[in-house]
A and B are shown apart, each in its own frame.
Chain A
């Protein structure tokens, strides 16, 4: 679990600002997943990426949200023009290329929009 690094742990943004959440997967992992947990709710899938490719973004809101996983560097979840409803815990997970292996989660980034 400690191998997936997310930063920052806490992020406060004013309405209308941009939020950038970073995720460095575990060494050797090429699959990254972003999940959002709203207060009092479960984990909601947002997007699944492999290096330089978005595989499934069916859980991403159509506007203001984007994600990338470049060849070099961490995966980035970007939220433009944040609104109060974006306040949530955002978790990143990574897994290896092998099938039927577990995904390991980071500690999450808690975004608060004021």
Chain B
């Protein structure tokens, strides 16, 4: 039962352009959402988060948008850089506990 879904396994973007990574969730009890970045042979690194009381959170080149009615969030990276090439996981947690549910990841390739 995949409660957090990332339907695009991979994405290629030209350097300097915008990267948009999408994530959908099914559990309406989720109230905190996170994005992680993962390089090969390393652990995931926290990138940015958003609480359900907001619809947007920005940190430098990274912006996360949350659409609660659609149960959808997205991560925008602009401008994209080759160093952004990695696998990006979205995750969610709810008010029933601290467990984090992860999507299956989207592999982003930024082409120089």
Contact = CB atoms under 8 A, between A and B. Distances in A.
Given A43-B89, A99-B32, A1 B43 contact: yes
Given A44-B102, A45-B102, 18 more contacts: A1-B45, A1-B46, A6-B43, A31-B98, A42-B104, A42-B105, A43-B105, A91-B43, A91-B44, A93-B100, A99-B32, A99-B95, A105-B43, A105-B45, A106-B43, A107-B42, A107-B43, A108-B41
Interface residues of A, number: 27
Contacts of A48: 97-99
B31 interface: yes
Interface string B13-30: 000000000000000000
Interface of B: 6, 31-32, 34, 36, 41-46, 49, 51, 89, 91, 93, 95, 97-105
B77 to A, nearest CB: 18
